[in-house]
Amino acid sequence: MSFAVLALGVAGAGVLGLALTAIAVAVLPVPPVGKAVVALVGLLLSVAAMGLVSNRITDRAIRAEYGEEPGGQAERPGDDGLG
């Protein structure tokens, strides 16, 4: 996994969300206030989608780098010197 994969995924999610928002604002037969609300909701959903994609790609990269074990570097809980 590289930074390019993360950037492309996040940008793709953002562009897709904003494109769907633009289509919804253009097609829905609502007054200007309704269109503003749809645009705001679409913008917020786009940001949420970008965060979700970023989180998933980052988690996948961390698992690929360090493996599936949830613990730290110690093999057993007592091996870390903390107790």
- At 74 the pLDDT is 52
pLDDT exceeds 60 at position 3: yes
- For 3-36, b/e burial (b = at least 16 CB within 10 A) is eeebeebbeebbeebbeebeeebeeeeeeeeeee
- 0.85 exceeded by pTM: no
For the chain, which residues make up each domain, given as ranges?
3-65
pLDDT exceeds 70 at position 80: no
Q: What is the DSSP string of 25-40?
A: HHHS---HHHHHHHHH
Segment (H or E) for 69: none
Segment (H or E) for 76: none
pLDDT single digits (tens) 34-70 = 999 999 999 999 999 988 888 888 888 888 777 776 5
Which residue type sits at 50? M
